[in-house]
Amino acid sequence: MKGAPPDGSGVGDVGDLPGVHTERTGTTKGGTTAPVSVHTPRSPGGEARRVALLGNPNTGKTTLFNRLSGLRAKTSNFPGTTLEARTTRVPAGIEGGRDGELIDLPGIYSLELDQLEARVCREVLAGTAAPRGEPLGAPEVVVVVVDASNLSRNLMLVGEVMRRRLPMLVVINMVDVAAKRGVSIDAQALGEALGCDAVPTNARSGEGVNAVRLGIKEARIATPALAVPGNADELRGWSEEMFNRGARAPSSSKCWNCGYHLEGLTTDTLGRGTCAECGKLVFVETHESNHAKRASRKEEIPETTSDRWDRVLLHPVLGLAVFATVMTGLFYSLFVIAKYPMDWIGAIFEWATTLAEAHLPEGVLRELLANGVIGGVGATVVFLPQICLLFFLISLLEDTGYLARGAFLMNRLLRPFGLPGHAFVPLLSSHACALPGIMACRAIPDPRERLATILVAPFMTCSARLPVYVLLTSLLFAGKPALAAFAFVGCYVLGILAAVFSALIARRTILRGKSRPMAMELPCYKRPSVRTALLTTLDRAKVFLRSAGTNILMICVVLWWLGAYPKAEAPARVQELRKLAIEAERTPVDAYSPSHSSGNAGQDTRLAIGEHQDAVNEITAEADRLEARNQATHSFLGRVGRTIQPVFEPLGYDWQLSIGVMASFAAREVFVSTMSIVVSGQEDEGSDSLFQSLSRATRDDGVTPIFTRATSWSLLVYYVLAMQCLPTLAVTAREAGGKKWALLQLVWMCGMAYIAAAIVYWLVA
């Protein structure tokens, strides 16, 4: 890690004034006049150095971040944008000094682009934006990650950062890829040209990461050999000049890892050898051989393996067939693989409920813990495996480079509806959860298309809808799994159709405007990093569990309280049944004498006792059901349900279903646990018993089932289309730039759901 020593020009004048942030117009070296922001770095918290990680997309920035952070990263947002940032503490290590607080900024091509990510990056560098919960302040160090295999373009961003006069470190990542392509980077020469430290790394293997840590500690304001021009075209020339200075093959090669001179090193036919100093694999190219290679390739752009793959994967027919297969495989594995851990989690919560009921004294605390907390949270947490698996698979796909191709394939299908191909990834992510899906919309460059995608993303079947779908399709097609699966897929299709239909209407009315044509870099296909995918999944799991542990827990507790109070007196019928049960239990065992039957006397006695006990249990269960129903009817929840029931009358819902639907406005997945509480007075006792309990549940007349065929279909359609997620509305308001968009989303989706559900109910009933 070498570089030219700082000459101090333009630095010392403000360097002694901590906390100063001034703007001035100055003449930089080379005579280019441009507005120059001079930031004196300061530590926002006074403890850790704030370090911003910046770079072009697909430069391995997040891989490096994961290498630096290990498992300590946390996800947070920038206030006002909901643009996610991952932050972590980087330990100072053996060199001593302060820790670093590392912020992983979104990948951008230029700081000057009119894009949301670029704006946030600009604001972070200016010190006017910081991750939520962190104090404002310009970063003390900017680490610019550049792709060694495409260095000249990446250096344009380096130039833009340099113009901001912040201490910086250039990390030349993917040096192995560059070496394979015949580009050898002389980090020392590049560092000297740029006037700051330049560290070669291979973030994927972890090589050079310690040097990055040291570089962060020693970062300084760059003093480039050539002044950075302000004009974009001139900046390109500047970056090429920097490239030519840094990427020329050194006459005396040095090891990229330790700087050891490699003269006389024996290499194989590919120019590879082992450094005698550190033992690392190095690519050695003589100046002549490198020059010859360049000359021979000057007019030639080689066909790559990715090109050959693209012939198939971007083919109008074959490409779509592969795409459909990949997506089907993704969702199939989601249900098949996630089933087992879901069962395990369900069993754990069931065991916890039983444990609480067995060991806690009867009373409010036991009811709250067993029914409100454990049961309610368990009904949500059980979907964690599906969410994790979906994010893991999406992350793997993204890492292979296929998702960019998928976006282009979808561009053809989405464009007629006014949505861009960029919308594919947000819509796919929304199948796990609408929140990250909406946040991913920031990658859509056109504001109208971005807004349209944000508005329709919640139509995608998120994992919160799955328990409702499972419940309703199982009730509709009990004992017919194939038909249930067909209905399940139909729900996904209906959601997608509703989304594109809504997008079309929005783009023809309130978001009318020309569509912006799509341009996207197609990264080379590569083997995905499981580590990166796991870390992404871990991030998402944390967010989901945080939500389950806060919002959903609160909802469950409130619902439990509303359902449990005020305490209603048990009706006469319940008291009779309880008396009957007590009397039956007191019946002496000798009443079951062998004379009552013939044959084996002992066995007959045991059978009779068993039957008697079953009868007692049945009477007790009936009494419990009636008491729970009475409690539900007279509770606060029951009163609310009866008040709002007329609104849902056209859809065929009674007051109990009305409560379930209303409670789902906080979070859809709450529907199942709410219905469990309302109908049986008990929390989820396992899937089978829940289905049986709900299928037996009746209206107030005690005869008509709550879940008739018509109401079940109506509910299914309602849940596919309705907007029932407060966090999604909050994110929509922030991402779309106003509450009116969230309100529009709520009214449009719920209105469409209401009308469609009413029509379905009318047709089926």
Partner 1 sequence: MAGPLPHLPVAHDPAPDRLAEVARNAASAVPLTSLMQGQTGVICEARLDVDDAALLRAMGLGDRVRVKLCRVGEPCVVALGTTAGRHCHCQGHCRIGLARGLADRIFVRVVA
Q: Is 76 helix (H, G, I), strand (E, B) or coil?
A: strand
Residue 85 bridge partners (DSSP): 76
What are the angstrom distances between the C-alpha of 411 and each of 414, 417, 667?
Answer: 5, 10, 31
We find the least distance from the C-beta atom of residue 430 to partner 1, in angstroms, to be 23
Residue of 233, 362, 590, 688 that binds partner 1 (CB under 8 A)? 233
Stretch of 92-100, 151-159, 192-200, 435-443 contacting partner 1, by CB under 8 A: 151-159
Q: 400 to 429, contacts with partner 1 by CB under 8 A?
A: 404-405, 408, 411-412, 421
Q: 267 to 326, contacts with partner 1 by CB under 8 A?
A: 294, 297-304, 306-307, 310-311, 314, 316
Residue 150 interacts with partner 1 (CB under 8 A): yes or no? yes
We find the least distance from the C-beta atom of residue 408 to partner 1, in angstroms, to be 4
We find the least distance from the C-beta atom of residue 755 to partner 1, in angstroms, to be 36
Residue of 138, 145, 151, 475 that binds partner 1 (CB under 8 A)? 151
Q: 113 to 132, contacts with partner 1 by CB under 8 A?
A: 113-114
Nearer to partner 1, 291 or 546 (CB): 291
Cα dihedral 182, 187, 192, 194, rounded to 10, equals 80
Cα of first residue to Cα of last residue in the chain, in angstroms, is 75
**Tell me, what DSSP letter sits at residue 581?**
H
We find the least distance from the C-beta atom of residue 199 to partner 1, in angstroms, to be 19
We find the least distance from the C-beta atom of residue 365 to partner 1, in angstroms, to be 60
Nearer to partner 1, 419 or 556 (CB): 419
**Nearest C-alpha neighbor of 196 from the set 228, 230, 225:** 225
We find the least distance from the C-beta atom of residue 389 to partner 1, in angstroms, to be 29
We find the least distance from the C-beta atom of residue 202 to partner 1, in angstroms, to be 17
Q: Do strands 141-147 and 100-104 pair parallel, antiparallel, or not at all (unpaired)?
A: unpaired
Paired tokens of 397: 């796909």
Nearer to partner 1, 482 or 519 (CB): 519
We find the least distance from the C-beta atom of residue 474 to partner 1, in angstroms, to be 42
Asked whether the beta carbons of 163 and 29 are under 8 A apart, the reply is no
Q: Please report the sign of the dihedral spanned by the C-alpha atoms of residue 672, residue 674, residue 677, residue 680.
A: negative
Residue of 170, 211, 221, 247 that binds partner 1 (CB under 8 A)? 247
What are the angstrom distances between the C-alpha of 650 and each of 243, 413, 444, 469, 755?
Answer: 70, 36, 40, 21, 9
We find the least distance from the C-beta atom of residue 514 to partner 1, in angstroms, to be 9
Stretch of 44-52, 105-113, 119-127, 353-361 contacting partner 1, by CB under 8 A: 105-113
Residue of 15, 79, 182, 737 that binds partner 1 (CB under 8 A)? 182
Peptide bond preceding 566 in cis form (omega within 30 of 0): yes
Q: Do strands 141-147 and 167-173 pair parallel, antiparallel, or not at all (unpaired)?
A: parallel
Residue of 240, 604, 624, 685 that binds partner 1 (CB under 8 A)? 240
Residue of 1, 352, 504, 522 that binds partner 1 (CB under 8 A)? 522
Nearer to partner 1, 224 or 420 (CB): 420
Q: What count of Cα atoms within 13 Å lies in the side-chain half-sphere of residue 214?
A: 13
We find the least distance from the C-beta atom of residue 289 to partner 1, in angstroms, to be 15
Q: Is 505 helix (H, G, I), strand (E, B) or coil?
A: helix
Asked whether the beta carbons of 556 and 677 are under 8 A apart, the reply is no
Nearer to partner 1, 297 or 709 (CB): 297
Q: How far apart are CA 145 and CA 111, in angstroms?
A: 14
We find the least distance from the C-beta atom of residue 163 to partner 1, in angstroms, to be 15
We find the least distance from the C-beta atom of residue 219 to partner 1, in angstroms, to be 25
Residue of 71, 358, 482, 519 that binds partner 1 (CB under 8 A)? 519
Asked whether the beta carbons of 169 and 215 are under 8 A apart, the reply is yes
What are the angstrom distances between the C-alpha of 418 and each of 72, 435, 495?
Answer: 41, 22, 17
Residue of 243, 323, 653, 741 that binds partner 1 (CB under 8 A)? 243
Q: How far apart are CA 660 and CA 718, in angstroms?
A: 12
What are the angstrom distances between the C-alpha of 601 and each of 585, 593, 605?
Answer: 22, 8, 6
Contacts of 708 (CB under 8 A, 6+ apart): 652, 765
Q: How far apart are CA 495 and CA 499, in angstroms?
A: 6
Stretch of 176-184, 363-371, 387-395, 475-483 contacting partner 1, by CB under 8 A: 176-184
Residue 526 interacts with partner 1 (CB under 8 A): yes or no? no
Residue 33 bridge partners (DSSP): 27
Nearer to partner 1, 152 or 461 (CB): 152
Nearer to partner 1, 306 or 605 (CB): 306
Contacts of 577 (CB under 8 A, 6+ apart): 619, 620, 622, 623, 626
We find the least distance from the C-beta atom of residue 230 to partner 1, in angstroms, to be 14
Residue 167 bridge partners (DSSP): 221
Stretch of 104-112, 341-349, 356-364, 751-759 contacting partner 1, by CB under 8 A: 104-112
Stretch of 109-117, 356-364, 436-444, 618-626 contacting partner 1, by CB under 8 A: 109-117
Nearer to partner 1, 243 or 349 (CB): 243
**Nearest C-alpha neighbor of 177 from the set 519, 536, 525, 531:** 525
AA identity, residue 546:
R
Nearer to partner 1, 443 or 667 (CB): 443
AA identity, residue 39:
H
Q: How far apart are CA 171 and CA 199, in angstroms?
A: 5
We find the least distance from the C-beta atom of residue 181 to partner 1, in angstroms, to be 4
Residues in contact with partner 1, total (CB under 8 A)?
Answer: 52
Tell me how far the alpha carbon of residue 91 is from its chain's centroid.
27
Note the residues at the interface with partner 1 (CB under 8 A).
Answer: 109-110, 112-114, 149-153, 156, 181-183, 232-233, 236, 240, 243-244, 247, 294, 297-304, 306-307, 310-311, 314, 316, 404-405, 408, 411-412, 421, 445, 516-524
